[in-house]
Amino acid sequence: MKLVTRILIGFFVLYMAASFLLLGLGLHYLLEKMVPEHPPINVINRVFIYYLFVELLFRYFLQQLPVTDIKNFLLLPIPKRRVIMNVLFKITFSLYNLVPILIFLPFSIVSITKGASAVQMLLWWLGVLLMVLSINFLSFLINKTKWIYPVTAIVFLGGLLEYYQIVPVISSAGQAMQMLYEQPLLILAPMVTFVLMAQITFNHLKSQFYLDTGLQSKREQVLGMQLHFLDRLGEDAPLIKNDFRLIFRNVRARQIVLMFVLFLFYGLIFFTQDIYMDSPMWVFAAIFTTGGFMLTYGQSVPAWDSEYYSMLMCQNLSYRTYLRSKWLLMTLSVVLAAALCFPYLYFGVKVYALILAGAIFNIGLGTFITLFSGAINRFPIKLNVKAKAFENTQAFNFSQLLFTLPKILLPVGLFWLGKLAWGFKGGVLLLTITGLLGLLFKNKLLDQVVKFYIKGKYTTLEAFNKKD
């Protein structure tokens, strides 16, 4: 299974690289057609600040950072500087940093063939590359600290000031990029930024390069959460309470809740655009808005319990009870999301009907597909990673991303078939019926998931107990 996963990841990486390359080659022509009144380079400069912010969020949630066990190096006559430089080297030469090479370098070359100055375009591209590498270091620092909150707040504040025409923050950033293109000597600015971010990252790693930092106990206030309102859920209540406590007490799990909130706004991308009206992309939005928690937290079941999974398996606890509690937790999240999506009724009854159909599908089939994929994903999650230096703080990886595809493509395909046969209402109806059938055969589906978990029980235990 690991070999198959690696092969799929390899194909996925190659596909994305080819897609980015094609985008880079055609970006100049695409912008000429879409915005003929402005040169393509000017258009990119105006929106480049948004690109940097999206890349920062993408790295924060998806990029895996290098892991180094410092205990072994502290016992060897190796300078700390060399170890830290090795970590910085890994950060710099990451697959994520290929994006400016695959997109903006071909764009620059095409622009040169169209008559742009070769010196200006190549120095502009070098500035873009250095800014992306600086964002790379910033992403590393954000994952090791709590910088994500002030950075996000600053960007949104800048957007609001721009929108209400108080201070042209975004426009100023676009003008700065345009000046970088027109005045090649300004390449010194991104160079200095890159060096400063590298030095800050180096100093941060150096400050963490001590056993005391990783071994000292961190005093925190323990949240006494009784959660008596969940007692009505019967024998599933204790396990669901544990999940709630885990979410409230661990930074990594709280990031999932943040993503759940962000997913609620996902529909604004598609439901507000006429080009997507009544299209399968509406289903894509409906699945994401109601299934954000399922697609993030749910796909890492049982990895969230990896640190004490062996203890759970030694209790008088059946796999069926354990998995039913996880299913019920995801179901509650979908129901809550569907209720919070009520304001989408502003865009029409059709939109909210599709959201409800997507919610029913997520509960009836999406949750079981999620539990099944969780059994295949045996990457343990260390809940206290924020307290350890040189540790991977990512909650996602590419294999998990690949396992989300059936949960998205299946409902899109069902809606498309229903719409092809009976129109939009037929697509919504087919999606709803599929979800209801999943609920009708809930026990049988759960039995199959339980059998799969039992079959891989010892493999999962071995993976979770494996020492790095």
User: Which pLDDT belongs to residue 372?
Assistant: 84
C-alpha closest to that of 211 among 393, 382, 71, 391: 71
**pLDDT one-digit tens code per residue, 30-85:** 888 888 888 999 989 888 888 888 788 777 766 666 655 566 666 677 777 887 88
- From CA 45, how far away is CA 177, in angstroms rounded? 5
Q: 4-7 contacts: CB < 8 A, separation 24 or more?
A: 5/376, 5/399, 5/402
User: Which pLDDT belongs to residue 51?
Assistant: 85
Token pair, residue 211, equals: 């056993």
User: Which pLDDT belongs to residue 72?
Assistant: 64
Cβ(54)–Cβ(262) below 8 Å: no
User: Which pLDDT belongs to residue 68?
Assistant: 58
Span between the terminal Cα atoms of the chain, in Å: 20
pTM above 0.85, yes or no: no
- From CA 407, how far away is CA 291, in angstroms rounded? 10
Kindly tell me the burial class for residue 290, based on how many C-beta atoms sit within 10 Å of its own C-beta (0-12, 13-18, 19 or more).
Answer: buried
User: Which pLDDT belongs to residue 301?
Assistant: 83
Residues of the chain predicted below pLDDT 70: 1-6, 8-9, 61-75, 144-149, 163-164, 169, 210-226, 229, 251, 384-403, 467-468
User: Which pLDDT belongs to residue 307?
Assistant: 81
User: Which pLDDT belongs to residue 397?
Assistant: 52
User: Which pLDDT belongs to residue 69?
Assistant: 57
- Could you give the C-alpha distances from 402 to 9, 57, 195, 356, in angstroms and in order? 8, 19, 36, 25
User: Which pLDDT belongs to residue 436?
Assistant: 94
User: Which pLDDT belongs to residue 195?
Assistant: 93
User: Which pLDDT belongs to residue 330?
Assistant: 92
- Could you give the C-alpha distances from 112 to 109, 118, 120, 204, in angstroms and in order? 5, 6, 9, 40
User: Which pLDDT belongs to residue 222?
Assistant: 42
- From CA 299, how far away is CA 371, in angstroms rounded? 7
User: Which pLDDT belongs to residue 191?
Assistant: 94
